[in-house]
Amino acid sequence: MDIFLDIEFLLWQQFVSFSLKESFNQVVILSHCRFDVAVLRLDRPVQYMPHIAPICLPNKNEDFLGQYGWAAGWGALQPGSRLRPKTLQAVDVPVIDNRLCERWHRSNGINVVIYDEMLCAGYRGGRKDSCQGDSGGPLMLERNSRWFLIGIVSAGYSCAQKGQPGIYHRVAHTVDWISHIINS
């Protein structure tokens, strides 16, 4: 089985519609987006394989505070690097409180507001994080042998730095809209 060929084939599928959350608002001053979520409808069904499978959506407003998720992506392995990995990368990160996330960022001189439709995940000491090029990728959580999409990589200030956890779109905040688009 050649995972790279399977992924390459999947990437050549075309999308036939694109739905952007109507509340989407890119705030350049804060350098991250509010309601940073979109749904793409593909031109044909995805062929499921052992490494390509559907993922569950969380319940509306479900809270994952203190639980560990997995952020996955093909982004940079270190801040500022243009090099990209040849294999999909994943790191485990704890979901942290939004106000705590703001305080950690402020301790580094970064004044950021983490809105309700966002969540933060990462360690106080850094070391593990999503990075440039991972945006749009999943923050997943496994529960009872089922995987849930709890976040979407959205923003961050550098990568894996002390007191600068990653910022994600909180899927449980817009799950009704996502479900509506999927089912329409």
Assess if residue 32 is contained within a domain: no
With left for phi above 0 and alpha for psi between -120 and 50, is residue 144 left, alpha or beta? left
Assess if residue 34 is contained within a domain: no
Contact 27, 33 (CB under 8 A): yes
Strand spans (E) along the chain: 15-20, 25-27, 32-34, 38-42, 68-73, 89-96, 118-121, 138-143, 146-155, 166-170
Assess if residue 16 is contained within a domain: no
What would the pLDDT profile of 14-55 be if each residue is shown by its tens digit?
545 555 555 544 443 344 578 888 888 888 888 898 888 999
| pTM for this prediction | 0.84
Assess if residue 91 is contained within a domain: yes
- The pLDDT assigned to 16 comes to 53
Domain limits at 86? 67-173
We report the CATH number of the domain holding residue 94 as 2.40.10.10
What would the pLDDT profile of 59-108 be if each residue is shown by its tens digit?
999 999 999 999 999 999 989 898 999 999 999 999 999 999 999 999 99
The answer, yes or no, to whether residue 1 has pLDDT greater than 80, is no
In the chain, how many domains are there?
A: 1
- The pLDDT assigned to 7 comes to 42
Assess if residue 43 is contained within a domain: no
DSSP class of 55 = -
Assess if residue 88 is contained within a domain: yes
CA angle 63, 64, 67 (to 5 degrees): 160
Assess if residue 56 is contained within a domain: no
Assess if residue 39 is contained within a domain: no
